[in-house]
């Protein structure tokens, strides 16, 4: 129960890695503020998480006996982020940990010269600037308490390039840069900032994940055969499970990682070791 007595705020918590991380935190005793857009976005060619899915995540977490708050939040809008953070602080008194998980995988699937400016802006706004807004909203109070942990969910795309994914790669590389810079900003006040870089994560039915399938579509890989295609690219010959990533996040949130900041933890089965 490494997170007992702590409150953790998670963005993009309706499904996928967000749900898996929420469940792992609940199992470790954390009270939770679960945020998601709960709507679709113009320009994103697949359905995003719904309010019903967010509430289902909350219900699963409550089975562990923890308190859970849910809220719709658009990480593209600072006022929306600040309102959600204020709601969580009012309910729980403080926020001890943050998981910046909200993100989109598309629009993607084209070379740089075919990416429209609005598509580029959308990807950066959600996947990079969204994390900045959340850190901005929580870091002052964390610094005043001289305690806190922020975990940014980047990707192997934050460490290497992928063909036809320039916007996503740029955003996730930027998230690594933000992690390192923020870690130095807040190290004097004992607030830690780290990142996890998942590899190809299996679309687990329980978590209702669909990110890998959407990446496959953008790459024009046949959905239904895509898991085998991605598995063949993995040195350990297996896809990453959502729970594998969630376990890494829990470690970084916990006091076990009290001297870990500015670090990038890969959970990729050795993909980026080559």
Give the residue numbers annotated as catalytic, written as ranges: 168
User: 176: Cβ–Cβ under 8 A, 6 or more apart, which residues?
Assistant: 154, 158, 159, 195, 197, 264
3 state SS of 91: helix
At residue 6, φ and ψ (nearest 5 deg) are -105, 155
Identify which of 78, 36, 88, 28 has the alpha carbon closest to the alpha carbon of residue 57.
Answer: 36
Per DSSP, 159 falls in state T
Cα–Cα distance for residue pair 125/131, rounded to 1 Å: 9
CA distances from 74 to 38, 141, 143, 151, 185 (A): 9, 21, 24, 18, 25
Q: How many CA atoms lie within 13 A of 50 on its CB side?
A: 6
Per DSSP, 28 falls in state T
Q: What is the edge-to-edge ordering of all strands in the sheet holding 148-153? A: 68-72, 31-36, 7-10, 97-100, 148-153, 191-198, 264-267
Identify which of 82, 178, 168 has the alpha carbon closest to the alpha carbon of residue 131.
Answer: 178
Other beta carbons within 10 Å of 1: 10
Cα–Cα distance for residue pair 218/88, rounded to 1 Å: 36
């Amino acid at each position: 129960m490494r997170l007992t007595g702590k409150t953790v705020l998670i963005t993009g918590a309706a499904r996928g890695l967000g749900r898996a991380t929420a469940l792992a935190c609940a199992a470790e005793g954390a009270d939770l503020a679960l945020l998601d857009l709960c709507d679709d976005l113009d320009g994103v060619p697949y359905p995003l998480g719904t309010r019903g899915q967010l509430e289902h995540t909350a219900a699963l977490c409550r089975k562990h006996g923890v308190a859970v708050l849910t809220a719709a939040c658009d990480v593209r809008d600072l006022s929306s982020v600040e309102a959600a953070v204020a709601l969580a602080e009012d309910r729980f008194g403080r926020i001890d940990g943050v998981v910046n998980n909200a993100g989109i995988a598309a629009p993607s699937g084209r070379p740089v010269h075919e990416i429209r400016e609005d598509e580029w802006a959308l990807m950066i706004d959600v996947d990079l600037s969204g994390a900045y807004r959340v850190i901005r909203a929580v870091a002052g109070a964390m610094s005043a308490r001289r305690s806190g942990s922020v975990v940014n969910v980047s990707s192997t795309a934050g460490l290497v390039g992928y063909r036809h994914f320039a916007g996503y790669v740029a955003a996730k590389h930027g998230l690594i840069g933000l992690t390192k810079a923020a870690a130095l900003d807040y190290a004097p006040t004992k607030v830690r900032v780290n990142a996890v870089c998942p590899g190809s994560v299996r679309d687990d039915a329980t978590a209702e994940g669909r990110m890998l399938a959407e990446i496959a579509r953008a790459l024009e890989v046949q959905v239904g055969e895509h898991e085998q295609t991605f598995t063949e690219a993995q040195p350990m010959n297996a896809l990453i499970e959502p729970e594998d990533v969630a376990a890494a996040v829990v470690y970084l949130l916990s006091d076990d990682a009290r001297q870990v900041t500015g670090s990038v933890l890969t959970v990729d089965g050795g993909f980026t070791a080559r």
